[in-house]
Structure 1
Amino acid sequence: MTDLTTRVADSRARLNRGERAYDIIVVGGGINGAAVAWLACHNGLKTLLLEAEDFSSGTSSRSSKMIHGGLRYLAKGDWRLTREAARARDALMAHHPDLVQPLPFWFMHPPASKPKPWQVQVALQIYRAFAPGCRPGWLSPEQLHDALPYPLHDIQGASCYFDAISDDCGLITWLLQEAVREGLDLCHYSPVDSLLEKHGRCTGVQARIDGCSTPIHAACVINCAGAWCDRLTPLPGNQVIRPLRGSHLVLPAWRYPAPAALTFAHPEDGRPVYLYPWMGTSIMGTTDLDHQAPLKQDVAMSREEFDYLWQALHTLDPDAREEDIIASWSGVRPVVCSAAEHSAPSDASREHLIWQEPGLVNLTGGKLTTFLETGQQVLEYAAAMIDAPLRKPELPPVSHAPHNDQPIGAAVIGWHRLEDAIAHQAITHLDDLLLRRTRLGLLLGRTLHHYQAPIDLLCRRHLGWSEAQCQQEWDRYWRIWERFYSPQPFRSRHD
């Protein structure tokens, strides 16, 4: 078993002993940073990954969880992105079914809807040429009424196809485990304060390791800090990072069943919104708007976003009740654009940007679906700088979790998986465990209170926490959850 806990402790000890020279330093522990780190180790490069907070604590844990095959890019006429995303999605589903599962989409057609059913059907047939696994089809009104408990008045039918869904944090944890197996050093809660330079070339980073400012040297630094990457170096030309916020509601699947991603137009602005299944719950999403708050603050749903999502849910189910909501989450997408761009958020390109300076490669933007392809592009830039040969990446198979795990309450997560995360997945705080390694904070919401005592026992056994430390961590966890993950987090904030 790959033990992140032990490797993080060993990495800190090596750095504190003065062993501070690497081929590659990766800044950022999200999906892109984890992919680049694995690829670098897979190619025999001595690599260190540094994350300012917890692994996957930024954008990568707060995505919509969808592994898109590129249909939205096809609608914008971007054939290349469509082909790239479709190939990446199909490869992940084929080789890693434990991490990425097929997700049917039902595009609902109410009366006088736009686009018209025939237009969507034509688009899906074109899409099929790029993504044979999308399996386009049609559901009649009778089939929809039989499958769904919602009042679908005068529905014309639904266009259907397949995409995919995942646990974004699970993907990152798996990539880090595979990278550690191939030699990665890594430290979380270790922010990089600045870059080291000599004669106009980046030679490493100044990072805080166990609270001490520590110079660490590398032949090449790869900046994968996402929406925060411009804190280390500005973007080229007149380009800027445009942070776009997307928010979601977590609902009980028994009350709001979603056998597929139910797709329909929002009554306010006509944007497509979704009610879709995820880890035993139903998710209502998503918003798409400019994030105006400073990125140094954590991200949470606003009152306006809640009203927007609630209006969408109420359109589907007029009997929806606010007290049914389990939790919420919000994330910031780092979209790259020119400083003068004023397009609508939903029209902004999701294309990633790679740029380089001597000894430094930077990446921002991009998509969850194409993490491997993007990571390979980045590493090719770095390898050219340090004259390192690269081989074609082939992701290793996923080890299977035990299938007889006793679930924790209504969650699909079981006690064995929880204990494994506590013991082996680098847990520093309870929010690492409950919001990212296991997602119990999203799946159970406030009912997690019922399981505090047995979770305490496991934390004391594996982490050595005292009773007082356990209580301090619960106090911290519930402050974070109420402010950023509760059903209506804006009610808990006073800033």
Structure 2
Amino acid sequence: MIGLRPDPQQLVGQAWDLVVVGGGITGAGVALMAAQQGLRVLLLEKQDYAWGTSSRSSKMVHGGLRYLAQGDVRLTRESLQERERLLRELPDLVHRHTYLFPVRKGSFPGRLGLSVALMGYDFLAGIRDHRWISARALRQRAPLLKLKQLRGAMSYTDAVTDDSRLVLRILHHAAAAGATVVNYSAVQRIERAAQHFQLHIQDQVNGANYQVSSQKVINATGAWVDQLSNSSPRVRPLRGSHIFLPAELLPVTDSYTLPHPDDGRPVFVFPWHGVTCVGTTDHDHTDDPQQEAYAHEHEVRYLLTLVRHAFPSVQLDRSDVISTMAGVRPVISSGKGLKPSQERRDHAVWESGGVVSVSGGKLTTFRIIALDALKAAGLIDERQYRQLRKQPRMLANAVTVPAGLESPAGAVSAEHLTATLLRWLVAQEQPVHLDDLLLRRTRIGNLTADGGRGWVRTNQALLQQVLAWDEERFSAESNRYDQILKLYYN
């Protein structure tokens, strides 16, 4: 298990084989695969684990049907194979889920085109579960869906997860394999010495500066990778935003893939943790990269327009939105001036000055991305690489988390964060701030009407006791959390 946050000064002087910079899904995957090879691994995250893109995705573990439509068979095949692996190995955290693609008269792609694409999709995954749903059956199944020119829908399955919990689970397995992981540890620069690298780090909790040395460094900081890559910029940061709506106002049991009436882009509407999520958008992210991303109002309007168009009997406006969420995709730029949605989603690994950088790719394929990075760093050879890609299991060590914590199907309420669960989270997952607890360890901040503020007030004494906060610290944390919700999640 991850355990308590170590004193960073204890890391100084140790002989690290590998330092992984970045605590999102890619960095977690690299730390896991490296630790399983017997390497002494240290992972450092500037903010909190999954703080960036990996807690703000569309929650899908999927092959990417549109990637197949674009002719990217390799990426689709890899993604589907990894999807099936995660469904087998993490059944409580990754759930197979039904997706419906409504087909209307004159729409593209039609029933035949979708049937052909999904035959290939299922073939690559090694399953067969797509089928046609008639208009009559679809009206019974989805009575709120717009009926005009509706021919029916293609049904297929992908998978859904809680992305930040997936990152934390992989980190737990990495720690069980011997890795050390530390959040709120900012790598400010990397210097190459004769036989090793020297990393200059600032502890974001107490402001102390320290250094560690390592034989190898892998920069897995996602959308922020160019800041430490020692190379020309490679990443085109693209913002994707979502809105969360009350399930009683827009009840859905399946995930819908719906073309937006303004531009035809596919947008997903799906159930998640007891609410309905709508997303995503696709825009160049030009805001300050050091600040949290947030959904701009034109993106919220765009998503509400889709809801009103697809479900015309549902009268929703801005005041019905429980919360918003935005993440920054680390897309490898083609340099061709393409529209954001036309950029490829595969990953890239490169080396400059001895530092191996990795970015891009999908949540689903983090294991493959990690192996590519380890091979580029010379930590595994070609033979090991092929063997590891084919290994039947990824997770070798047993990890136990509290029941119900990880399931994306369960509704979220403040009552779920009991004193017992809070003590476990503090002892095992290194939360430093209230937003760590309420936005990433749990989803109370995203998915409850008050963002968990009432729970914080009611449980002040418990929080102060478990987190060892005095009145001044509690007040500062409460104010900080209120500001985060107001600025980035409203």
TM score, norm. by length of structure 1:
0.90
Q: Give the Å deviation of 1:427.
A: 1.1
Q: How many residues align?
A: 475
Deviations along 1:270-311, whole A, 9 cap, x unmatched? Answer: 111111011111101110111122312221111211111110
Match of 1:226 among 222, 229, 236: 222
Partner of 2:395: 395
| Superposition RMSD in Å | 2.5
Give 1:31 deviation, angstroms.
0.4
Alignment of 1:8-157 (within 5 A): 8-10=5-7, 12-15=8-11, 18-133=12-127, 135-154=129-148, 155-157=150-152
Query: CA contact under 8 A between 1:108 and 1:159: conserved in structure 2?
Result: yes
CA distance in 1 between partners of 2:462 and 2:134 (Å): 50
Q: Tell me what 2:362 maps to.
A: 367
Post-superposition Cα deviations, 1:45-80, rounded to whole Å, max 9, x if no partner, equal 111111111111011111111111232211011111
Residue type of the partner of 2:484?
I
Distance 1:240 1:346 in 2: 17
> 1:163-208: per-residue Cα shift (whole Å, max 9, x none)?
0011111011111112222222222111111111235x76131111
Secondary structure of the structure 2 residue equivalent to 1:139: strand
Are 2:146 and 2:309, in contact at CA under 8 Å, matched by a contact in 1? no
* Mapped partners of 1:412, 1:162: distance in 2: 32
Q: Which amino acid aligns with 2:280?
A: T
Give the direction of change, closer, same or farther, for the CA distance of 1:286–1:411 in structure 2 (3 Å limit): farther
Aligned partner of 1:489 in structure 2 is none
Question: Which segment is superposed worse, 202-211 or 359-368?
Answer: 202-211
Residue aligning to 1:430: 434
Displacement of 1:411: 6.4
Report the alpha carbon displacement of residue 426 of structure 1 after superposing the two structures with TM.
0.4
8 A Cα contact 2:374 2:380, kept in partner: no
Structure-2 change in CA distance of 1:277 and 1:133 (3 Å): farther
Do 1:223 and 1:229's aligned partners in 2 also have CA atoms closer than 8 Å?
yes
Kindly indicate whether residue 464 of structure 2 is the aligned counterpart of residue 460 of structure 1: yes
Question: How many angstroms apart in 1 are the aligned matches of 2:384 and 2:145?
Answer: 59
Q: In structure 2, which of residues 343, 349, 353 is the aligned counterpart of residue 354 of structure 1?
A: 349
Q: CA offset at residue 413 of structure 1?
A: 4.3
Q: Distance between the aligned counterparts of 1:305 and 1:234, measured in 2? A: 34
Mind listing any 5+ residue stretches in structure 1 that lack a counterpart?
A: 487-495
Counterpart residue type for residue 230 of structure 1: D
Structure 1 residue 3: Cα displacement:
4.6
Amino acid at match of 1:399: T
Give the AA of the match of 1:223. N
Say whether residues 1:334 and 2:338 are aligned partners. Answer: no
TM-score, normalised to structure 2, is 0.91
**What displacement does 1:134 show?**
5.5
- Identity among equivalent positions (%) equals 36
Which amino acid is the alignment partner of residue 172 of structure 1?
A: V
Q: Answer whether contact 1:241 1:336 (CA < 8 A) is retained.
A: yes
Deviations 1:426-470 (A, max 9, x none): 011001111111011111142523322343233222211123322
Secondary structure in 2 aligned to 1:173?
A: helix
Of 275, 283, 287, which residue of structure 1 is paired with 2:277? 283
How much does 1:20 deviate? 3.9
Is residue 162 from structure 1 mapped to residue 161 from structure 2 by the alignment? Answer: no
Which of 472, 477, 487 is residue 473 of structure 1 equivalent to? 477
Deviation at 1:410, TM superposition (A): 4.0
Question: Which residue of 232, 246, 257 maps to 1:263?
Answer: 257
Tell me, in whole angstroms, the C-alpha distance in 1 between the residues paired with 2:443 and 2:253. Answer: 21
**Which of 304, 310, 318 matches 1:316?**
310
Partner of residue 197 from structure 1, selected from 192, 196, 211: 192
Moved more, 227-236 or 121-130: 227-236
Are 1:444 and 2:448 an aligned pair? yes
- Equivalent position to 1:172, from 159, 167, 171: 167
Q: Tell me if structure 1 keeps the 8 A contact 2:196–2:213.
A: no
Distance 2:279 2:235 in 1: 23
- 5+ unaligned residues in a row in structure 2: which ranges? none
Secondary structure of 2:277's counterpart equals: strand
- Give 2:102's aligned amino acid: M
- Separation in 2 of the partners of 1:408 and 1:304? 29
- Taking the aligned partners of 1:146 and 1:414, their CA distance within structure 2 comes to 37
